[in-house]
Structures are given as C-alpha cells and as structure tokens.
C-alpha cells in the first residue's frame, strides 16, 4: 500500500474519532449544567484543557464562557482540532483515497460534513444543543459502523483501526487527567453527592457509565480510574485501545505478536507492558496526573514513530533506493 494512502486512511479515522469524542464531552457538560448540578462558571475551562491547546484558545477568546468554548471546539475553522475542522480534514483524506473506500463511506462522511456546515448549525446549538451533539455522535457512529461493515478488512482497514485506537486512547487519557483535578477542587467535596456527580460525568464523557455500574455499584474513584485505564474488556479503556492497536500494527507488518520488527512495535509493546504490570494503587500513589502526563508523552512518541515507519515518503524513498542498489 502506498504511504500516501495509508496515511490518509489512518488520519481519516483519527479525525472522526476526535470529533466524536469532543461532541460527547460537550454534551455531558451541557447536561450537568442544565440539571444545575455544577457551577457553570467553573465547568468550561476543563474542556479547553482537555484539548491541550489552552494557549491557542486564550489568545483568541480570553475567557472560557459557554459561547466561546462551544464556538472554539465546534465551529472554529482556524482551530485544526475543532469538530468542524476534524470532519473537514477527515472528508479531505477520504476524498484522496476514493479508490480504496466504499461509496457508502464517502456518502456518510459527506452527510456529516454538510450537517456541520449547514446555515442552521450554530442556531441548533442554541435551541437544542444536546440534540445537536447527539446528532454528531450519531453521524460518527454511522461512519464507523458502515466502515466496519463494507470496507475490506485488509491492510487499509488495519491502518484505519490503528488510527482509531491511538486517538481514542489519547482522548480518554486527557479526559481522565483534566476531570480528575476538576472533580476534587476542594477537600470538602470528597465523598459528597457533588463528588459522585462529577465522577459519573467522567464516566459518561468516556461512554462508560453504564458498563462501570454493571461491575461496581458505587462511585469509587480508584475503581473508576482502574476501569478507564486498565480494564481489558471495556472498548474505551486505555489498555483495550493499546492492545488492539498492537494487533493492528502487527497485522500491517505481518510480524509475530510478542516480537517487533520496527520501532513502532517496540515502543507500543513497551507501553503495553508498563500498563500490564501496574495496578491502580501504584498509579494513584505515584500521582495520576504524573502517570497520565508520562503516558501522553509516550503515546505521542509512538504516533511519531508510526509516521516515520509507514508514512514518511523520504524514508520510503531511501529504503527503495537502498534495496534497488543491493
């Protein structure tokens, strides 16, 4: 497969996953405020922090109000990680690989793009914001479902799934990190109803509330952290995402599981081992923020390594000429 095609497939998936995650986080935030369960003035800044782009936001918007944050995360075309930018970039990547994707995929991503760019989209966020963000989630789920059903599960699909898992692991880690500090702004809130509401919001932001409650009846911070980081069965936990990313990475290179043939497989294997041989008590004792911060750095290094291994045209050309000379 051409590196250009692999790269577009990988990023098409990442951008749709990113848009869907942002929509879910905003939707949960709106519901909490609507039900008067949180202080609205303190609830929007954490959403900016989740993106990791606080500097960009505060340079342009100054204050984290509801209107500013929704505009920034949803409709700001100058911000490359807004929902509208992500879907536009996903559509552009899909357009460049029309030869390998199914027409149903192209039609769905176009519908998604048209929905966000309709003249009534911004008005929709004011009149019925939760319905608007649920529509975004539905468009995303339709795209992922259609893709799994109609795209051949070959090398292109492996790149598509690899991108989805890497992006999902990144976003879940950011949700945990920011929400962890927002959940406990004051010592007096620990163990209160307000505390439980915020932990429930953390689970809902990762679509894990119902699955968590099936395992545990109470809102226990250590169990929630364990569920979202180490649970091997929940499809949005960090461990689940990394384990599946590893399978897709080995399927691409056709190397044996448990070994490695390139830097990406080595780095991902090391990060998976780190998670496999730790427990939630060690994570919390060493500092959850420090753990997540280290994880995000390592995940970014893995993302850069995937680019160098599979998508870097310069590297591909050098390998070609080396093999040609031999």
Note the pLDDT tens digit of each residue in 181-207: 655 554 445 555 666 777 888 888 888
Calculate the dihedral angle through the C-alpha atoms of 36, 42, 48, 52, rounding to the nearest 10 degrees. Answer: -130
Note the pLDDT tens digit of each residue in 105-149: 999 999 999 999 999 999 998 899 999 999 999 999 999 999 999
Q: Do 202 and 224 meet the contact criterion of CB atoms below 8 Å apart?
A: yes
pLDDT of 158: 97
Q: What is the mean pLDDT of residues 293-309?
A: 94
Note the pLDDT tens digit of each residue in 215-261: 998 888 899 999 999 999 999 999 999 999 999 999 999 988 888 88
pLDDT of 192: 58
d(CA 203, CA 170): 16
pLDDT of 176: 86
Q: What is the mean pLDDT of residues 18-42?
A: 77
Which residue in 167, 108, 169, 96 sits closest to 138, CA to CA? 108
Percent of the chain with pLDDT strictly greater than 90 = 64
Question: Interhelix angle for 288-306 vs 263-276, to 10°?
Answer: 160
pLDDT of 273: 95
Write down the pTM of the prediction: 0.89
pLDDT higher than 90, residue 303: yes
Q: Which tokens go with 156?
A: 């292109």
Question: Which positions ≥6 away from 120 have C-beta within 8 Å?
Answer: none
Local confidence band at 40 (pLDDT 50, 70, 90 cut-offs): low
Where residue 264 falls (left for φ over 0; alpha for ψ -120 to 50; beta otherwise) is alpha
Least confident of 49-53, 92-96, 97-101, 164-168: 49-53
pLDDT of 287: 87
User: Rounded to a whole number, what is the distance in angstroms from the first to the last CA of the chain?
Assistant: 22
pLDDT of 98: 94
Q: Average pLDDT over the chain, rounded to whole?
A: 88
Question: How long, in residues, is the chain?
Answer: 326
Cα–chain-centroid distance for residue 204?
Answer: 14
pLDDT higher than 80, residue 64: yes
């Amino acid at each position: 497969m051409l590196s250009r095609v692999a790269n577009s497939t990988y990023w098409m998936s990442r951008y749709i996953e990113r848009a869907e995650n942002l929509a879910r986080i905003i939707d949960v935030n709106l519901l909490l405020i609507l039900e008067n369960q949180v202080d609205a003035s303190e609830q929007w800044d954490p959403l900016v922090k989740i993106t990791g782009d606080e500097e960009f936001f505060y340079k342009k918007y100054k204050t984290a109000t509801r209107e500013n944050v929704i505009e920034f995360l949803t409709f700001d075309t100058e911000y490359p990680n807004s929902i509208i930018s992500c879907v536009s970039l996903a559509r552009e990547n899909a357009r460049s690989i029309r030869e390998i994707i199914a027409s149903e995929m192209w039609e769905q991503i176009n519908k998604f793009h048209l929905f966000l760019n309709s003249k009534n989209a911004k008005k929709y966020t004011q009149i019925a914001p939760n319905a608007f963000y649920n529509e975004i989630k539905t468009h995303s789920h339709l795209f992922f479902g259609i893709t799994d059903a109609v795209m051949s599960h070959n090398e292109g699909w492996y790149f598509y799934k690899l991108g989805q898992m890497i992006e999902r692991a990144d976003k879940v880690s950011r949700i945990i990190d920011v929400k962890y500090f927002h959940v406990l702004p004051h010592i007096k809130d620990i163990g209160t109803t307000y505390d439980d509401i915020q932990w429930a919001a953390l689970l809902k932001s990762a679509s894990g509330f119902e699955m968590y409650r099936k395992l545990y009846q109470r809102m226990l911070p250590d169990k929630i952290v364990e569920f979202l980081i180490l649970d091997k069965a929940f499809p949005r936990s960090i461990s689940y995402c990394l384990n599946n990313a590893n399978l897709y990475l080995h399927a691409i290179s056709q190397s044996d599981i448990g070994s490695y043939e390139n830097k990406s497989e080595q780095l991902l294997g090391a990060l998976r081992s780190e998670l496999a041989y730790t427990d939630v008590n060690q994570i919390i004792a060493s500092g959850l923020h420090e753990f997540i911060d280290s994880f995000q750095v390592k995940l970014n290094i893995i993302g850069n390594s995937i680019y160098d291994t599979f998508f870097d045209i310069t590297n591909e050309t050098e390998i070609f000429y080396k093999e040609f000379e031999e």
